[in-house]
Each structure stands twice: as C-alpha cells, then as structure tokens.
Amino acid sequence: MTPLAKLLEAALFASPRPISLAELAELDPEAPLAAVTAALEELREHYNVDGHGVELVELGGGWQILTRAEYTEAIERAQLAARPQRLSAAALETLAIVAYRQPIGRAEIEEIRGVNVGGVLKSLHERGLVDVVGRAEGLGRPLLYGTTPQFLEHFALRHLQELPRADELAIALRSAEPAGVE
C-alpha cells in the first residue's frame, strides 16, 4: 500500500464517524485531492481483492471502514455466547445494600460503603439490576433505588422475601452457598 493509503486507513479506523473527502485531504496537506481519491480507491481495492473482513464504504457524505455484512451474524452470536461478566466486588456490595435497604438513596449507600458509588450504581442500572423507584423527601429530593425483576432472575429468586432476613444472614451464609450467584 502507498503511504497515503496507510495514513487514510489509520485515520478511518480511529475516527468515531465517517470522514469526508475534505477532512481526509487535511491529513496530508501536501497531497492533491486526486491523490487522496486514488488512495481511497487503492484501499477499497485492497480490501476487496486481498479478501479482508472489512470493507471501505462511502455513506453519509463520508468514508468509513465497516465489517463485512457476512460476518456480523457470527460476531453477534459470539457476543451472546460470551460468558456473562462477573460483577465486581464493588458492584456486588452495592447491590446487596440496595437489596436489603430498598428504597435507598445514593448518599446512604455511600455512607455504608465508605466510597463513591456513582459509577457502580450507573453500571448496575445499565445491567438492569437496579432501577430508580422513587425520590426521597428532603433536600434535593434524591433518587431512591431498588432492585428489578432481572435482579431476582439473576439470583434465581422468586421474590425478594426469598432473600434471608438480615438477622438470618450469618446462619444462611454458613449453611449454604447462595444458589445461582456467579
């Protein structure tokens, strides 16, 4: 590949959006527009002739490298098959606090855990394990969090009452591994 084609490839790969011809031309101020067009054509040819998993496409007023359609299914399938990620210790602790104290505000969780839990709460929310269930009284009316049906599913619980009571916890932990917990 020519140096210009390599530069274009790197830029197209790194950019979060399609890149217009004018923007691509700015990568090398020395290169005339015709050379940029030729390098794009070279890159496209290379991906097609050499047989690559990606292709160069023009869309939305710009150029973009995309994975070939024939592979998207395999990639999606692999993502589904990928082993579920383990929850971090921080996430599990926060989740436990929410489960037992719901509805509970962020400040109260942070008081118990002694660290900022903003990021953890966000990721628990994104995973659908906790949700906002209301707002507390008082200053700023902070959001209150509770667990979701997915939470029960994740831990193979039929309902929240199936969690051992706080005062039974020590005995429950001693007598059995909690079922279904990763």
Partner 1 sequence: MTGDQLLLESPGGDAAFVVELKAFSGPLDLLLSLIREEQVDIYDIPIARIAEQFLARIRTLGLNDAAEYLEMAARLLRIKAQMLLPRPDGEVWEDPRAELVRRLLEYQQMREVVDLLERRGEERRNQFARTFTPPDAPAPPPMLALSLADLLAAVDRVLRAAKRPSVHDVVSRPLDVPAAVAVIRALLALRSRIRFTEILRHSTDPSFVLSTLMGLLELAKVGELRVHQPRPFANVEIERDAAGQAA
- Please give the single-letter amino acid code of residue 85: Q
What part of residues 28-57 is at the interface with its own copies (CB under 8 A)? 28, 50-54
Contact 39, 46 (CB under 8 A): no
What tokens appear for 15 in the block? 């950019």
Distance in angstroms (rounded) separating the CA atoms of residues 61 and 34:
18
Bridge partners, 144 (sequence order) = 105, 134
- Residue corresponding to tokens 């009284």: 137
What part of residues 88-117 is at the interface with partner 1 (CB under 8 A)? 88-90, 92-93, 95-97, 99-100, 112-116
Q: Which does 172 bind (CB under 5 to 8 A by kind): partner 1, its own copies, none?
A: partner 1
Q: Does 142 bind partner 1 (CB under 8 A)?
A: no
DSSP secondary structure letter of residue 174: H
Residue numbers of the site for its own copies (CB under 8 A)?
A: 1, 5-11, 13-16, 19, 22-23, 26-28, 50-54, 65, 67-68, 71-72, 74-75, 77-78, 80-83, 88-90, 93, 114-116, 118-119, 122, 125-126, 128, 131-134, 143
